Amino acid sequence: MKIVYFDVESYEREFLDKNNDGKYTYFLDTNPLNDLAPIKSEYADADIISVFTTSRVNRKVLEQFKNLKLIALRSVGFNHIDLDYCKENNIAVENTPGYGNITVAEFALALLLDVCRKVTVSYSEYKNARVSPSNLIGTELCGKTVGIVGLGAIGAAFAKIANGLGMKILAYDKFEKEELKQSLGVVYTDFDTLLRKSDFISIHAPLTKENYHMFNEESFNKMKESAIIINTGRGELIDTQALFNALVNKKIAGAGLDVLENEQTMTDFDYMIGLNRLDKSILEQTIINSRLFQLDNVIITPHTAYNSKEAIQRILNTTMNNINEFVSGKLQNNVVR
């Protein structure tokens, strides 16, 4: 059984060596998968590949693997995988659910606190010996209303933290959980009401065809001018051009973003040296992303909300368990329907 792990970080190597050595033929590759660079010839007959969200595994990429049976994701999300191709070619795709519920929720709070209390701005001004107290006036969280979009495991963990800080909680989700209403005082509502009444909005929804760009110009126009939006879900849930316009025109007050649309062009070396190979829309998106970094009321981090010691260990444990069970003939955490 041949396995190729892509997107491998230095802190993952010891675990992967220990758990693969003597059991499988395996390769550890630091590079992500994308359709800008062909795979190495020794990878073509891999039975299993494992990737993180930094890989973009589309049809063109998958067609290079002639013997592929399983994609073992080191993530919960799977919108970066061509599931239609996998279904057509009987390739299982297994994710790692539940690894980052607390970790991501805590990071979303960190972003919210940073934007509200201007932590990064304060640090920058102090470091450069140009402190202006009027620029550093913040906003308290206690007593404010936070709207949570997506009340799955991560959204529920965020709701618990928000409740502990004395915040009122509105929620938008397809499925209402009675226990959250009872224990945390969560009030489920429609999307428009959440937009209009929330002082802060934290996005924890998965990306689907239905909710692509759910935050658009119309959405931002319905929000309070004092509102702050936090996104640790997926970048494509927000129309970035509409967000940029809303921030510049003071339709909303600020944003904390751990994810961006087409974020791979900001960090993946293959994209950075091959901009001439990108289509017009992705080039435009890259420019808009870059412009967001120039705004004082925006904090942007490099898709790192998952990145805690505890969560990484859970990711690796679940990934390895998924692979071992698959090899023994058992399918678990499969997302191909």
Catalytically active residues are: 234, 263, 303
**Strands of the 298-300 sheet, one edge to the other:** 187-188, 168-172, 145-149, 200-203, 228-231, 254-257, 298-300
Collapse the DSSP code of 175 into the 3-class scheme (helix H, G, I; strand E, B; otherwise coil) and give the result: coil
Q: Ramachandran region of residue 250, left (φ > 0), alpha (ψ -120 to 50) or beta?
A: left
Q: If you write DSSP's letter for every residue of 283-314 in order, what string do you get?
A: HHHHHHHHHHTT-TTEEE--S-TT--HHHHHH
User: At a CB cut-off of 8 Å and minimum separation 6, what does 130 contact?
Assistant: none
DSSP assignment letter at 157: H
- Give the residue carrying structure tokens 């938008």: 172
Collapse the DSSP code of 326 into the 3-class scheme (helix H, G, I; strand E, B; otherwise coil) and give the result: helix
User: At a CB cut-off of 8 Å and minimum separation 6, what does 28 contact?
Assistant: 5, 8, 12, 13, 16, 17
